[in-house]
Amino acid sequence: MKVIGLIGGMSWESTAEYYRLLNTLTRDRLGGLHSARCVLYSVDFAEIERLQVQGRWEEAGEILADAARALERAGAELVLICTNTMHKVADQVAAAVSVPLLHLADATAVAVRAAGVRTVGLLGTAFTMEQDFYRGRLEAGGLAVLVPGADERAVVHRVIYEELCLGVVRDASREEFQRVIGRLVERGAEGVILGCTEIELLIGERHSPVPVFPTTRLHVEAALRAALAP
């Protein structure tokens, strides 16, 4: 098994889920006492979030690039950025290392197409929903992407940063997300991408009338396929 490098901490709540899934799925595939060969570099999310708000993406990207270099020095043979939003700087991170960067949006698009879905709703941070770095990548992968209206995007963004990133999971927020999903379905969404790793703490398959695509799990599954390939 190749060594998987994880750039995490954004937030650590979702990074813990990455680590749990990575080891659970490794055990399921290999059996016995097997666990994942991985290296984790966890950044300080407060610093990253401040740079996001200020639009200083290149500086944030250099922090993640430094993390990727450290992972490669530690033996990582492929690298994952364990957050959707920071894939805005994926090219900057990929250029910093000689090992492959496994792009989360690409792994997600493959899974959505495999499920026979072509029109999807996208939930995530305001950056992910409103900017082209993620939506454009999904569209390049053959998908039609719908995002919530402005007021609904503000609700989703607030819940992510003020609740889920702090480990707070509220039934009232889940109901708000379900209403947002319902309106996306009314507009033609055949499935919904949970395009922020923290959303999986709140929303699962049973909370949606159409299939949901949990990007953390999809990213981990793609990483394992790569790591276990001959």
Spatial distance between the Cα atoms of 92 and 180, rounded to a whole number of angstroms: 33
Burial environment of residue 150 by CB neighbours within 10 A (0 to 12, 13 to 18, 19 or more)? exposed
Residue 165 annotated as catalytic: no
Q: Measured between alpha carbons, how far is 33 from 87 in angstroms, rounded to an integer?
A: 33
Nearest residue to 216 via CA among 154, 176, 164: 164
* Structure token pair of residue 44: 């300080």
Set 15, 26, 82, 83: catalytic member: 83
Q: Which of 128, 196, 215, 216 is catalytic?
A: 196
- Are 178 and 210 contacting, i.e. CB atoms less than 8 angstroms apart? no
Q: Which amino acid is at 180?
A: V
For residue 119, the SS3 value is strand
Q: Is 83 a catalytic residue?
A: yes
Which residues are catalytic, by number? 83, 196
